[in-house]
Chain A
Amino acid sequence: MAVAVEYYLLLSAAVFCTGVFGVLTRENALMFLISVELMLNAANINLVAFSHFYGNITGQVFSLFVMGLAAAEVAVGLGIVLVLYRNFDDVDVRNATTMRW
């Protein structure tokens, strides 16, 4: 028997909220990045779940795209984190406030 789609959605929402919480509260840039990944994957869960539910493969294809995107994003993100560390001797996002008004 198939699991009802609502459970997937709940899971996805929970993961997403975890990610949002992380983005809002973490100070470490790496944790920040991981939180973003969580949010992306919450979306992936959604996509796969609906794809399965409707019997349409497009959603799964999209989730592959998102994973690719996430990989690219992590590459860029880690690059930024490295530069952050190099410039501020820390990976605390609160220190890097030079790009303000």
Chain B
Amino acid sequence: MVGATELTPAIPLLPFAAFLVALLVGHFAPRLLPKGGAIPGIIATAGSLLLSLWTFLAVSGGGYHAQDIYTWVAGQSTFSLHFGVLVDPLSAMMLVIVSLVAVLVHVFSLGYMNDEGETGLPRYYAGLGLFTFSMLAFVVADNLLMAFMFFELVGLCSYLLIGFHFREAGPPSAAKKAFLVTRFGDYFFLIGVVGVLATFGTARFVAVGDGVQSFPHLAEQALAAAGGDGAMPEHVASFLDVVGMEPQTWFAVLGLLVLGGVVGKSAQFPLHTWLPDAMEGPTPVSALIHAATMVAAGVYLVARMYGFYALLPTVLAVIALVGGFTALFAATMGVVKDELKQVLAYSTISQYGYMMLGLGAGGYVAATFHLMTHAFFKALLFLGAGSVIIAMHHNEDMWDMGGLKEKMPVTYYTFLSGSLALAGIVPFAGFWSKDEVLYYAVNYGLGESPILLAAYAMGLLAVFFTGFYTFRMVFLTFHGEPRSDTARDPHGVRWNVKLPLVVLGVLAATAGLVNMTPVAKVTGLHIEFLHQWLVIPEGSEFAALGYDHYHHLLEAFAGYGAAGVGTLAPAAVSLALAFGGAGLAWVLYNVDSPTEHTEKLGGVKTVLYNNYYQDEYQVWLAEGVTLPLARAADTFDQGIVDGVVNGVSSVSLFAGSRLKRIQDGLVTHYAALLTLSLVVLLVAFGLLGGWF
């Protein structure tokens, strides 16, 4: 019988088949395509979900698995490049998350796209299928190069799906921006990938099998050797010789380069500007791509190669600071937004900031935990927003809503569940995971790495803003009196919208229970299931991917030491702040006819409305610097470079036009010239030949 692990490649390939079906049948015989491609998509993603669950079970039983699937390039005298699958706790968890959200989004799309009579559905479902394929393949990638390749492909799908309504002006522009900004990050990522390949001769995450090596392990050896312990791997030594750098410095450079891609894809400061614009895409797409999965790719990548990052304290500090800053920065912008999806977009940026903070602070488990819970509750919130948007006839302005609570109870209660999770209210999912992230930051920050405290402070402050904007959104949307005609008589939604909401609503409420660290610490019960799940026992070939190993690296190489802070006090602080934020929102907005309070912010309001002028300066960089520079280059090229070429031709033509005047048609002159030339020639020969 085939085991789950042999079928792992089928997990991404099923959605790919759905993509092909939607593309080909959709083009040649659209009538044959049930529901515009939704049905093949649902079947395929459901199949992926089942296989993912099976894989998940297999992994629970210790069935870790790494296998080369396809040799992309077989190097004859040098290293090869290949595709492979790596199934370990992290990827198994991510597979379930991605395929689950994908199924639910496909189902939701039946309500959001099909029922709303959209055109171009095969294109939509083809995009979703291709995206799911790429994302799942990214998740199971067993080497950095393969990860990069699918990282780019999800970017393409994001481009295609954001620009789905290409006949309007906004979406294509947003799609372009999304791809371009992430491409800027991917530029650094690609240098990083190439650098890793050149430095280590391999890009594998883990070494399983004979004669196989992994780059985090080689880096570990090289750093140990630099510290006087063991021998430097030969390939690494020869490369370091070429660049002439210490391993610590060079690896930090590589780590930061790869981080560039992470910052772009996970919408971290300063490359976060594309994500709010990406909300131009259909809402299910926002839920799938721009909340739960693709944006998570960056964070997932850091977790995937944590064995490398854990060696580099500088890079970890950068990750933590970028994350903490982004969490706060984005949360403040979310406070003033008027459109439902915009608030969610900024909250997404902010939440990914928390994950980065967690990873930088050495909280591998915490960040992974938050990745999981966030995927559920943010997908839920986006789908809930989608439901509201259907009801509101595609009006997203929260000031036109209000009072939807009675009209759409299912949406309201599930949305509330997601909001509580987002705000971090106990016992909803977000509380446990966010709290754990902050706990790691403060614990290691008070210990050996004080710089983490700055990141912690920012993260903590962001909790307050999160609570505030989340409940401002809830109250404005669902509470009070309806503020427009559509809000008084909203469009109903069907089962295909409610079902995904309910599933995710339950998960948002309960997913946190898998890792209740404070409870475990207090009661002494072993209920930190996620923590245990991510630990890989010593002696396994996969031990290098386990949390214990990372913990060891953090202490041995990055100098992380815990201060032994208790778990309850930080949890209480962040909970208090979350309640504070939510309470402020309650006071200001949970009234029958809420009014805008943003005027009270004074000048700050303008800054926040304009997103700290981040878009402006990036647009300025593109249109105010690069474009004039390009035009100047063009002028230079046409004027100087081509001018020289044309100049050569003009000089020849001019010289010719003058010289031809010798040819005046007078035979006498020709004869004179002949004679003269003969004489000159004779004299010249004579002089050279020494006749005189």
Contacts and interface: CB of A to CB of B under 8 A. Distances in A.
A97 B665 CA distance: 4
Contacts of A98: 665
A94 B667 CA distance: 7
Contacts of A20: 675
B672 interface: yes
Interface in A7-25: 20, 23-25
A96 B675 contact: no
Nearest to A22: B671
A93 interface: yes
A34 to B, nearest CB: 14
A94 B666 contact: yes
Contacts of B663: 100-101
Contact of A23 (B660, B664, B665, B671): B671
B665 A100 contact: yes
B665 A24 contact: no
Contact of B667 (A25, A93, A101): A93
Q: What is the interface of chain B mostly: helix, strand, loop, or mixed?
A: helix
Interface string B628-669: 000000000000000000000000000000001101111110
Contacts of A96: 665, 667
Which of B661, B664, B667 lies at the interface centre, i.e. has the most chain A CB atoms within 10 A of its CB? B667
Q: Give the interface size class of chain A.
A: 10 to 19
Interface in B345-399: none
A24 B671 contact: yes
Given A20-B675, A24-B672, A24-B675, A32 B664 contact: no
A2 interface: no
B664 A24 contact: no
A99 interface: yes
Interface in B382-436: none
A93 B666 contact: yes
Nearest to A101: B660
A98 B666 CA distance: 9
A92 B117 CA distance: 95
Interface in A47-101: 93-94, 96-101
Contacts of A32: 667
A32 B667 CA distance: 10
A33 to B, nearest CB: 11
B675 A101 contact: no
B664 A100 contact: yes
B350 to A, nearest CB: 80
A93 B668 contact: yes
A99 B666 CA distance: 9
Contacts of B661: 101
A97 B666 contact: yes
Nearest to B662: A101
A25 B663 CA distance: 18
Which of B660, B663, B665, B675 lies at the interface centre, i.e. has the most chain A CB atoms within 10 A of its CB? B665
B660 A24 contact: no
A101 to B, nearest CB: 4
Nearest to B678: A20
Contacts of B675: 20, 23-24
B262 to A, nearest CB: 72
B77 to A, nearest CB: 64
B666 to A, nearest CB: 6
B675 to A, nearest CB: 6
Contacts of B665: 96-100
A84 B241 CA distance: 86
Contacts of B672: 24
Nearest to A100: B665
A97 B671 CA distance: 14
Nearest to B657: A101
A61 B162 CA distance: 95
Nearest to A36: B671
Given A20-B675, A24-B675, A94 B660 contact: no
Which of A27, A93, A98 lies at the interface centre, i.e. has the most chain B CB atoms within 10 A of its CB? A93
A99 B670 CA distance: 12
23 contacts: A20-B675, A23-B675, A24-B668, A24-B671, A24-B672, A25-B668, A27-B668, A32-B667, A93-B666, A93-B667, A94-B668, A96-B665, A96-B667, A97-B664, A97-B665, A97-B666, A98-B665, A100-B664, A100-B665, A100-B666, A101-B660, A101-B663, A101-B664
Given A24-B671, A100-B663, A100-B665, 15 more contacts: A23-B668, A23-B671, A24-B668, A24-B672, A25-B668, A27-B668, A93-B667, A96-B667, A97-B664, A98-B665, A99-B665, A100-B664, A101-B661, A101-B663, A101-B664
Lowest 10 A-B CB distances belong to which pairs?
Answer: A100-B665, A97-B665, A101-B660, A23-B671, A93-B667, A100-B664, A99-B665, A101-B663, A100-B663, A24-B672
